[in-house]
A and B are shown apart, each in its own frame.
Chain A
Amino acid sequence: MTDKIATRVAYGNALVEFAETYPELVVLDADLAGATKTQTFMDTYPERFFDMGISENNMMGVAAGLAACGLKPFATTFAMFAAGRSWEQVRNSIAYPHLNVKIVGSHGGLSVGEDGATHQCIEDFALMRAIPDMTVLCPCDAHEMRLATEALLNYDGPAYMRLGRLAVENVTDSVENYKFELGKSLQLRDGEDVTIIANGMMVQMALKAADLLKEQGVSARVINMHTIKPLDEEAVLKAAKETGCIVTSEEANILGGLGAAVSEYISGIYPVPVIRHGVRDEFGRSGKAPLVLEAYGLTPEMIAESAKESIQLKAD
């Protein structure tokens, strides 16, 4: 484990790192280059960077036009505006024509902290997942973010990727030969009693929850489901069969996101108890990020509780 790094920082660095290899890569932002970390790219490749001002909807349309003419645009702003404000532009000008635009939403979830509910996007997974043809991802650490950015450069089609504000521990850098593949999850811990399927910074918390559970004699499998869509159905089915119950964990509303994706799939093919851990269908609020996360139950302790609940349901 190395120092903590935010996934938004890793994204900014990756754009610069891959710029020479992918000459079609262009980056757009909407007056948030400092916060989303596209600033590094702006400074290094000013002629391939376009600040569209505070005009997210226009940015999405312009990105669609660039893609239609052979470029690989990464349109970046806060998750709230990328997935929220510009939803219909994304649907009709990017996804429907299957254009190669990468929509990147930074500052996803409640860990935005002090800026409060208007900036804490907890609906982006649900919103983006609901669009046909849209790939949706939320990498968990800096190491994985670099690989995910490269994977998106090699994927020809619309995709949404969430970045986080807070610095987080690297947990995938110690995985030997980690080959990141869109739609293919990464098992970080094996276990028999329950499977925790998480994404984003809930992956680190899921690993801590697995430690807590171990102390209590519970063996938990932990899967990093960095791609919410297309879902790694094989891994979910295997988890259902081998551990008999599931907990999903996401820094998002429990309606429509990762938990919903897993439930929708498994209920139709091999029903097992699925407890969805996340924001319980309420708006966030201002406060220091760790305190907000705690107030909404986004903690390893609550994941562990949910795991036990799920195991209980399996036994009943």
Chain B
Amino acid sequence: MKKSTEHQLMLEAAKARLLAVQMVYDAASGHPGGSLSCLDVLTTLYCDVMNIDPQNPKDPNRDRFVMSKGHCSPALYSVLALRGFFPVEELKQFRSIDGNMSGHVEMSVAGVDMSTGSLGQGISVAVGMALAGKIQNKNYRVYAILGDGEINEGQVWEAMMSAAKYKLDNLCACVDVNGLQIDGKISDVMPTEPLDKKFEAFGWNVIKIDGHDFNEIEKAYKKAMTVKDRPTMILAQTIKGKGVSFMENEAGWHGKAPNAEQFEQAKAELEAHCKELECVK
């Protein structure tokens, strides 16, 4: 990856983190932890990997994205706004009765390809989108992000089998392996390791990466494009709450809004990071 691209992605992700935390604070509810952990992957998808056009969000040939862990709307809405699908201003209405910025990811928001919120269901829809691409001879690719708690759902594994059966090499999913679900550590609540062996056994091409290293993220997505006859699963090791010191690796920040004092601190940290990156440029 070119240094300039990496720098640009880092800056976009930093801005998105600031917006995401601001949204949750303004709404006084929402899910900061999992939004912050997946933002480097999501930013790379929308600003580097995916073939999309904010001016033509319904282009039938566009790449598709499904946020299967639909509670991470602050992450997706922020990236879509920064990418120009709708004005950043609209994020102010997140979770409010006014406007359409619903608490969980919803298709009424420009640029969103699938409504989600009930865990385990999004990935099946992504399989359907990829299958549609195959039978209609389209070249678009389909992307999805799942939570590492979400994969407790049996439906996820049903989706895995069907994607392998239909050789959906146009499908590339990513599990945001932040090690936490709501009630605590994944390893305590519902142990899922070894993830790589499980997905491999289900017929998927598996790539393990550091989900906060833009070079590794891009490389994994590029590699997935070359794999034939098999869907790819990227296992992205991440930090839940990434970027806000007191939220990092804390299960308690899964679905909670910061108070005014906490928000000031989070904002200061995230702004400092943005400034730092802008100066380097």
Contact = CB atoms under 8 A, between A and B. Distances in A.
A298 to B, nearest CB: 13
A53 to B, nearest CB: 3
B138 to A, nearest CB: 28
A223 B150 CA distance: 42
A98 interface: no
A91 interface: no
Interface string A287-304: 110011001000000000
Given A31-B181, A34-B183, A286-B95, A52 B103 contact: no
Contact of A292 (B97, B115, B150): B97
Given A117-B102, A287-B97, A31 B115 contact: no
Contact of A287 (B96, B119, B183, B189): B96
Contact of A116 (B103, B150, B153): B103
Interface string B164-206: 0000000000000000011100000110000000000000000
Nearest to B115: A118
Interface stretch (A54-62, A140-148, A248-256): A54-62
A90 interface: no
Interface residues of B, number: 29
B152 A54 contact: yes
B258 interface: no
B117 interface: yes
Given A53-B152, A54-B190, A85 B181 contact: no
Interface string A15-43: 00000000000000101111100000000
Contacts of B153: 54-55
B102 to A, nearest CB: 4
B103 A115 contact: yes
B27 interface: yes
B230 to A, nearest CB: 26
Given A31-B182, A33-B183, A80-B118, A52 B104 contact: no
A286 B97 contact: yes
A295 B96 CA distance: 12
B183 A32 contact: yes
Contacts of A285: 97, 102
Interface in B1-44: 27, 29-30
A80 B183 CA distance: 19
B113 to A, nearest CB: 16
Contacts of B190: 31, 51-55
B95 A287 contact: yes
Interface in B106-129: 106, 115-120
B149 interface: yes
Interface of chain B, main secondary structure: loop
Contacts of B133: none
Contacts of B102: 116-117, 285-286
Interface in B23-77: 27, 29-30, 70
B154 interface: yes
Nearest to A85: B118
Contact of A81 (B27, B118, B182, B189): B118
A31 B97 CA distance: 28
B29 A114 contact: yes
A114 B154 contact: no
B117 A119 contact: yes
A29 B154 CA distance: 16
Interface string A95-130: 000000000000000000111111100000000000
A114 B152 contact: no
A295 B150 CA distance: 32
A195 B214 CA distance: 65
A35 B49 CA distance: 37
B157 to A, nearest CB: 11
A281 B106 CA distance: 20
A54 B150 CA distance: 6
A54 B120 contact: yes
A288 to B, nearest CB: 7
Most buried by A among B96, B103, B150, B190: B103
Given A113-B29, A114-B103, A119-B117, 15 more contacts: A29-B183, A31-B181, A34-B183, A53-B189, A54-B119, A55-B154, A57-B154, A81-B118, A114-B95, A115-B103, A117-B106, A118-B115, A118-B118, A288-B97, A295-B97
16 contacts: A31-B183, A35-B182, A54-B153, A54-B181, A55-B153, A114-B29, A116-B117, A118-B70, A118-B104, A119-B103, A119-B104, A285-B97, A286-B97, A286-B101, A286-B102, A288-B96
CB-based closest 3 A-B pairs: A53-B190, A287-B97, A118-B117
